[in-house]
Amino acid sequence: MRRRCREPALLGMMAAVLTSATCADNRTPRPDVRVEGAWARAVADSDGTTAAYMLLRNVGDAPGRLVGLRSEAAREVQLHRTTIDESGLARMAEIDALDIPAGGSVELAPGGYHLMLLGAGPLADGDTVRITLDLEGSAPVEVAAEVRAF
Ligand SMILES: [Cu+2]
């Protein structure tokens, strides 16, 4: 249930306090996903494959869900997860979505979750790759990932 908040300046002090309390109680919980420390690995090929990493922090009060990815710098961007199998080999697989808990964060880092950029490059140290994250229940987030050569 949503209720419109009235302009507190038009009301008395007591009414303003009551109004803001009412608005806070009835506000629809929303995810608010912020991105920190985004970077992508350099790639020499013009039609190469590379990975991007970042911290996804949800400062909102509802769970966030990453459901789509796109970039003008790549033909396709996929969400991947790396796991180690019984023989110690690293394998990665595409996953459909990634949940970011309310008030929590998920790290995309080498050896774990990452974004896979297919049909990307060349990307050199110091370049910037722009990636758009599509999230359920909130506006898309634009990410500027710094390209690093390591
Ligand atoms: Cu991958």
pTM of the model: 0.81
The alpha carbon of 120 and the centre of ligand 1 are apart by a number of angstroms equal to 13
User: Do both 86 and 46 map to the same domain?
Assistant: yes
Query: Three-state DSSP class for 27?
Result: coil
pLDDT for the residue numbered 100: 98
User: Do both 54 and 126 map to the same domain?
Assistant: yes
Report pLDDT digits (tens) over 99-129: 999 999 999 999 999 999 999 999 999 999 9
Report pLDDT digits (tens) over 136-150: 989 999 999 999 997
User: Do both 86 and 37 map to the same domain?
Assistant: yes
The alpha carbon of 66 and the centre of ligand 1 are apart by a number of angstroms equal to 16
pLDDT at position 91 over 50: yes
pLDDT at position 24 over 90: no
The alpha carbon of 40 and the centre of ligand 1 are apart by a number of angstroms equal to 12
User: Do both 19 and 43 map to the same domain?
Assistant: no
The alpha carbon of 94 and the centre of ligand 1 are apart by a number of angstroms equal to 7
User: Do both 67 and 117 map to the same domain?
Assistant: yes
Domain range spanning residue 7? Answer: 1-29
User: Do both 22 and 73 map to the same domain?
Assistant: no
The alpha carbon of 5 and the centre of ligand 1 are apart by a number of angstroms equal to 46
Count how many domains the chain has: 2
